[in-house]
Chains A and B, each alone.
Chain A
Amino acid sequence: MTTEQPIHSNLAKILVRSQAYLALLILLLLAGLDFFFPTNYRLQAGLHGMSAIASVVAGTYLTHRAYALIRGVHINFKSLRYWVLASTILNLLGAVSGNWIYMRYRGEGGPKDWILANAPAFHNYMMEFKEFVTLFPFPLMAAVTFILYYYGDAIHTRRDLTQFVGIIILVSWMFLLLGFVTGLVLAKLRFV
């Protein structure tokens, strides 16, 4: 019994990790293939799309960790600090690449012109909303990263602080998802 147990748990671990890496790889293709699209702005599109997907994936994983913070169960704060830092960097990359692709969006003959001529509500209501709320996750996760590094492991002694950190992670995720879905809708409507 002691020999079978590790084999089984090892198999599960291998499968779980393979599934996660394969899912991430395939999901990244959703925007990664933009690099091969017939447009002069493929680099901006691919970079923004991939950083957006990676941000949503990291943010979604972090919501799983957020519930542990909210419930007050044992947390590996060292690993959590690395994850929130990585998430913050991805969110920044998403915002910077978003600025870069937004130039073409507003450019002559770009998606904005087409959308205003054909489906103006998608620009006036959706894009004018999306361009601002997608800036929210970076400062929120920067705050979380700062808090976790500033207080260190000692933060576990204050339930109110750990609960608040968990809530900020959830709020940040909500804006990531809003930005991701609206971005995808706009790209489907008129690509750069």
Chain B
Amino acid sequence: MNQPTHNNPQKPSTDATQAATPLYSGPIIAATLSPLLGFYTLMISHHVSRVTKDLDKLVHSFGHWIPGSTGTGPDGSIGSYSGKETLALGIWLLTWAIFHVLWQKQDLPVNRWIPLFLGAIGFVTLCLFHPFIDPILLLLLSQG
């Protein structure tokens, strides 16, 4: 019968505020482009570390702050994986902050970004699968 009435004076003003403030898509593009750049950093640093022992040491040096990044014996260590993670984490967070500040008041085309995002994430995944990427890398290295 009688519906309970909620006298919430906040509600209309909230709706009015929402209607008055346009939603910009810039922050969503920033939040999704930056992890992609982190994934590509992970992939590139991984393959760089496989080229020579010196490059592996260089990549590893970025990750020494992570507990268990160095060590031998049965307990082991995560080795240069720590450096790859550190570089990826750094690129992810740094680019996120930069793009967010740059694009917070911009409306970028989300519908055009979605296929690019999916294609880029599919490609980086393939590039982490050695049977796919190794022949390409060997070809590149033999020419370089």
Q: Does B31 contact A (CB under 8 A)?
A: yes
A103 touches B31 (CB 8 A): no
Q: What residues on B are CB-neighbors of A19 within 8 Å?
A: none
Q: How many A residues have CB within 8 A of the partner chain?
A: 42
Decide yes or no whether A124 CB sits under 8 A from chain B.
yes
Contacting pair B77 A106 (CB below 8 A): yes
Of residues 94 through 133 on chain A, the ones whose CB sits less than 8 Å from some CB of chain B are: 99-100, 102-110, 124-125, 128-129, 131-133
Question: B106 on the interface (CB 8 Å rule)?
Answer: no
Shortest distance between the CB of A120 and any CB in chain B (Å): 11
Contacts of A100 in B (CB 8 A): 68
Query: Does A158 interact with chain B (Cβ within 8 Å)?
Result: yes
Interface of A, helix, strand, loop or mixed by DSSP? helix
With a cutoff of 8 Å between Cβ atoms, the chain A residues found around residue B46 in the complex are 132
CB under 8 Å from chain A, chain B span 68-93: 68, 71-79, 81-82, 84-85, 88, 92
Are B128 and A135 touching (Cβ within 8 A)? no
CB distance from B19 to the nearest CB of A (A): 8
> Judging by beta carbons under 8 Å apart, are A135 and B130 in contact?
no
Residue contact A128 to B75, C-beta cutoff 8 Å: no
Contact status B39-A157, CB under 8 Å: no
Given contacts A109-B74, A140-B35, A161-B110, contact A171 B128 (CB under 8 A): no
Partner of A125, one of B21, B75, B129: B129
Max chain B CB contacts within 10 Å: which of A105, A135, A139, A167? A139
Residue B140 is within 8 A (CB to CB) of chain A in the complex:
no
In the assembled complex, the CB of B101 is this many whole angstroms from the nearest CB of chain A, namely 13
Which A residues are CB-close (under 8 A) to B73? 107-108
In the complex, are the beta carbons of B18 and A154 less than 8 A apart? yes
Tell me if A133 and B25 are in contact (CB < 8 A): no
Within 8 A of B (CB), among A22-64: 40
Which residues of B have CB within 8 Å of A154?
18, 21, 23
Task: Knowing A103-B75, A104-B76, say if A135 contacts B31 (CB, 8 Å).
Answer: no
Question: Are A171 and B78 neighbours in the complex by a CB distance under 8 Å?
Answer: no
**In the bound complex, do residue B27 and residue A103 qualify as a contact, i.e. CB atoms below 8 Å apart?**
no
B82 to A, closest residue via Cβ: A99
User: Does B43 belong to the interface (CB within 8 Å)?
Assistant: yes
Q: Are B78 and A157 in contact (CB under 8 A)?
A: no
Within the complex, the shortest CB–CB distance from B113 to chain A, in Å, comes to: 8
Most buried by A among B27, B38, B88: B27
A136 within 8 A of B: yes
Pairwise interchain contact B23-A151, C-beta atoms closer than 8 A: yes
Question: Chain B contacts of A171 at CB under 8 A?
Answer: 118, 121
B74 partner residues in chain A, CB cutoff 8 A = 40, 104, 107-110
